Amino acid sequence: MGMRGVPDRDTVTGGHLESFTSWALLAAAALFVGILGFAEIGRRIGRARLAKDPDGLSKGTGAAEAAVFALLGLVLAFSFSGAASRFEARRLLVGEEANHIGTAWLRLDMLPVDAQPPIRKLFRDYLDVRLATYRDVRSSDIRAAHLQAGAALQARIWASTVAACKRPDAMAQAAILVPPALNNMIDITTTRMVATENHPPMVVFLLMAMLGVVTGLLMGYDTSTNRDRSALHTWVFATILALTFYVIIDLEFPRLGLIRIDSADRVLVDLRASMGD
């Protein structure tokens, strides 16, 4: 059996969307400003070095700089790939939950005819609650109420279905096929909860930010030999890096940011419509 009544952090919308988006944009903007600022610091350090030693900047530092830039690229690549994979996995889990609920719904045909209507009504109520849990989160109290209602409905569906399977007028295979379908329907709620809590440690985001400003510092230092500032390259570098940083954060929280998986909920909506009233 899956865990019941566990808060799904993947279901925050409304005001939380605005606050999260503002926070993510602020983090990306801070990285952008940080890169520009450290690039300027690096340039001034280089210019000061040149003023003392007209022969040029330190030699033999190319390998160290290349290693830092390579590490930045590696961290960004793995972080982006992981975020995209987790985004896709969360989207697919919505469809998987719809499949499990749909399978359990169809297998109710194996139960006695008179036992099916009340259980089917419980299924409709359960799917309504699941949809409401994903969408209606105006407050933590409302979300908690939906989660408790879903857990209660799971228990009632299980008890009613198991009792119906034991009746002599149920199909011979009902006790073998129906409970596993219900178990899968309940277990997927745990799988989705675990998936929504699966994020890289905060230190990974801090590492990306740190590498970003360090590369800005090194870039400013290397370009200090130029009499004029290379503003275009610095701004493009800072913009692309900050944008990538923002997209990675947004992908990690697909119910909070601008890049969302709400369209995947359509399969649950269609399933509910097929169940009738």
pLDDT at 95: 93
- Please compute the mean of the pLDDT values over residues 161-187 and round it to a whole number: 94
pLDDT at 277: 83
Overall number of domains in the chain: 1
Cα 9 off chain centre by: 9
How confident is residue 10, by pLDDT bands cut at 50, 70 and 90?
A: very low
pLDDT in tens, 14-38: 444 557 778 888 999 999 999 999 9
Position 5, amino acid = G
pLDDT at 12: 38
Lowest mean pLDDT: which of 26-35, 46-55, 66-75, 214-223? 46-55
pLDDT at 57 over 70: no
Query: Hey, is 253 helix, strand or coil?
Result: coil
pLDDT in tens, 61-96: 677 888 999 999 999 999 999 999 999 999 999 999
Neighbours of 200 (CB within 10 A): 16
- Please compute the mean of the pLDDT values over residues 259-277 and round it to a whole number: 90
CA torsion sign for 64, 70, 74, 77 is positive
CA torsion sign for 97, 101, 104, 109 is negative
pLDDT at 243: 95
In a domain, residue 71? The reply is no
Q: 215 Cβ partners below 8 Å, 6+ apart?
A: 35, 68, 69, 72, 237, 241
Q: Which two tokens stand for residue 43?
A: 């340039």
pLDDT in tens, 146-172: 878 988 999 999 999 999 999 999 998
Cα separation of 262 and 134, whole Å? 9
- Please compute the mean of the pLDDT values over residues 27-55 and round it to a whole number: 86
Residue range(s) defining the domain that contains residue 153: 9-51+84-274
Cα separation of 184 and 97, whole Å? 9
In a domain, residue 66? The reply is no
In a domain, residue 104? The reply is yes
What DSSP character marks residue 229? -
In a domain, residue 167? The reply is yes
- Please compute the mean of the pLDDT values over residues 125-141 and round it to a whole number: 77
- Please compute the mean of the pLDDT values over residues 107-119 and round it to a whole number: 95
pLDDT at 85: 95
Q: Which two tokens stand for residue 19?
A: 């606050």
Lowest mean pLDDT: which of 110-124, 205-219, 221-235? 221-235
In a domain, residue 270? The reply is yes
In a domain, residue 192? The reply is yes
pLDDT at 5 over 60: no
- Please compute the mean of the pLDDT values over residues 135-144 and round it to a whole number: 67
